[in-house]
Amino acid sequence: MKWYEMQGKDKDVVISSRVRLARNIDGYPFPSRLDEKSAQEVISKVRAAFGDAYTYTDLTALTPLEIRGYVERQEISQDLANAKGPHGLLTSDKSGVSVMVCEEDHMRLQCVMSGLALKEAYELVAEADDVADSALDIAFDEKLGYLTHCPTNLGTGMRASVMMFLPAMTMSRQIQSLSAQLQKLGLTVRGMYGEGSSAEGCIYQISNQITLGITEEETLDKLSKIIDQIVVSERQLRESVGKNDELCDRIARAEGVFRYAKMISSSEFMKLYADLRLGISTDITQGISFEKLDSLLVRVMPANLMLESEQLSADEKQRDKLRAEKIRSIIG
């Protein structure tokens, strides 16, 4: 089961929580300077360390469309998709953890969970980290902590992030000041697909920026407390939604478009998604769950849409039709 198909805490405001750890094996250069042979060695060691519980996917053997599908599902980063040398992905449905191999670091262990579940995600990823640690010689320095390719990851090597749905803050234009405040607290706010992406669908990724001189627990504590506050503020702002006739009309129409349109572009989808998600969270929209709606976030993105419907050469217009069909079939 995918994270977006699961129920989760504070789902009205927090779509998902993610924790990832950057780890490298001692004695090997970072992937950017690994030759082919050494890269294969690193991959073999990582695969061996995680054992049979994990399945390895050699990403270099996949089509660009399949790779794009992984990125859309947020199973791999754009950096891993772009990687030149040998690289792949270890996955384990049972552990809930996946490992990007030879991205910027030798290993990027990650876990995504539905709703607000930073500590739960960390526990799972820490367990997997123990597995790696017991089998591999992990690059670690007493002063600098875990050694990583990018100095911004030195220390814990941990990036914890939550994907938040903040329509009321967006409409009331409080996002800019929130973003500035969070920066002062050592946090980063970005759009759904990471750095530089815009906040389509009122979706924001909030993550820790600091990894050095702070423990994992402190980072998660601090982030969780701030997220809790944002959840409260967003909910307060949403209390007036039902009294706003124009907004109620927009929300109601969004459902009409989802249920009736024959073609929906991705950018229109994101707007309608945001309207409907706000509708569900304010009880204006009935009969559509967060889980169904959030699964669309992945399933109507171009590559996943083409892969799921086996129309691998669909052009934009054909995708707009497939998207409308898919939406109808999922929201039922």
**Beta-carbon contacts of residue 244 (< 8 Å; ≥ 6 apart):** none
How far apart are CB 173 and a copy of itself at their closest, in Å? 24
Contact (CB, 8 A) for 216 and 223: no
What is the 8-class DSSP label of residue 75? S
Nearer to a copy of itself, 222 or 321 (CB): 321
Comparing CB distances to a copy of itself, the nearer of 51 and 256 is 256
Q: What is the closest distance, in whole angstroms, from the C-beta atom of residue 273 to a copy of itself in the complex?
A: 16
Q: How big is the chain by its Cα radius of gyration, in Å?
A: 21
Query: Least CB distance from residue 309 to a copy of itself, whole Å?
Result: 17
Closest separation between CB of residue 248 and a copy of itself, Å?
5
Task: Return the closest-CA partner of residue 57 out of 78, 76, 77.
Answer: 76
Shorter beta-carbon distance to a copy of itself: residue 210 or 252: 252
Nearest to a copy of itself of 235, 321 (CB atom)? 321
Q: How far is the CB of 281 from a copy of itself (least distance, A)?
A: 18
Q: Which is nearer to a copy of itself, 295 or 318 (CB)?
A: 318
The least distance separating a copy of itself from the CB of residue 15, rounded to whole angstroms, comes to 24
**C-alpha–C-alpha distance, residues 330 and 185, integer Å:** 40
Q: Which is nearer to a copy of itself, 212 or 252 (CB)?
A: 252
| Contact residues for a copy of itself, defined by CB under 8 A | 245-246, 248-249, 252-253, 255-257, 259-263, 317, 321, 324
DSSP, collapsed to helix, strand or coil, labels residue 208 as: strand
Hunting for tokens 């409260």 — which residue is that? 232
Q: What is the DSSP string of 287-312?
A: S--HHHHHHHHHHTSHHHHHHHTT-T
Closer of 6 and 252 to a copy of itself (Cβ) = 252
Nearer to a copy of itself, 6 or 248 (CB): 248
Residue 200's identity, in one-letter code, is E
Output 2 or 321, the one with its CB closest to a copy of itself.
321
Please state the closest distance from residue 324 (CB atom) to a copy of itself, in A.
Answer: 8
Which own/partner pairs from 293-297 qualify as long-range (CB within 8 Å, at least 24 positions apart)?
293/331, 294/4, 294/15, 295/2, 295/4, 295/5, 295/330, 296/269, 296/326, 296/327, 296/330, 296/331, 297/4, 297/15, 297/201, 297/273
| Token couple for 163 | 């994907």
Rounded to whole angstroms, the maximal C-alpha distance in the chain is 64
| Closest alpha carbon to 100 in 53, 65, 160, 54 | 54
Phi, psi of 134 (to 5 degrees): -75, -20
CB 242 within 8 A of CB 248: yes
Q: Per this entry, what is the length of the chain? A: 332
Minimal distance in Å, beta carbon 246 to a copy of itself?
7
Least distance in Å: CB of 257 to a copy of itself?
5
